[in-house]
Amino acid sequence: MAERLLSCRDIPGRLREYETIYILRPDAPEATIAEVNKKIRGIIETNGGQLLKVENWGKRRLAYEVRKHFKGTYLFWSYLGKAGLVDEVERNLKIADSVIRFYTVKLNENVDPGVKASEVTDESFASASVAKPDEEDLAVGHRASAASAEADDDDDDDDDDDMTDDTTDAEVN
């Protein structure tokens, strides 16, 4: 990354706080998610940034069609970095085939890196690469289990289905 001129507002030793959300194709396997995550983490750490948080929000419906996809796997990143780090992160997200959309927001300037604690461990970073269930599948699965519970409801407190038996006492004896 080419060294970028700092703003007059930048205090030496301080970093800017950013959040980036990127969306991967819905059919992206875990290996692809892990590969993109590893690449972005490497860029942040190589350029003097500090990773604060990484979350996989799972597969969600998009607000509108993006590159012929109606769903995507959302990943959330929070990090500290110098001016110009976002340019490098976004440049790499642009050239990644599996990334269909990304967005970065600057939250703060002149953040002391010693004050912000990283929530990222090796386990949390690895779990961000695991494909989460589709939010609509979870909702449909929840409705299906609720429907089966309603079908079992027979207006009494026991778990038995009150099936009527057509036999009378005379036929049993």
CB atoms within 10 A of CB 143: 10
pLDDT tens for residues 36-54? 999 999 999 999 999 999 9
Q: Name the domain count of the chain.
A: 1
46 three-state secondary structure = helix
What distances in angstroms separate CA 173 from CA 24, 165, 166, 168, 169, one per listed residue?
70, 15, 14, 9, 6
In a domain, 157, yes or no: no
* Total-model pTM: 0.75
pLDDT over 90, % of the chain? 64
Q: What is the pLDDT of residue 93?
A: 97
In a domain, 169, yes or no: no
- Residue-number span of the structural domain to which 54 is assigned: 15-141
pLDDT tens for residues 96-122? 999 999 999 999 999 999 998 999 999
The CATH number for 66's domain is: 3.30.70.60
In a domain, 68, yes or no: yes
Asked whether 97 and 22 are in contact (CB, 8 A), the reply is: no
Q: Which of 80, 98, 75, 13 is nearest to 44 (CA)?
A: 80
Higher pLDDT, 136 or 81: 81
In a domain, 112, yes or no: yes
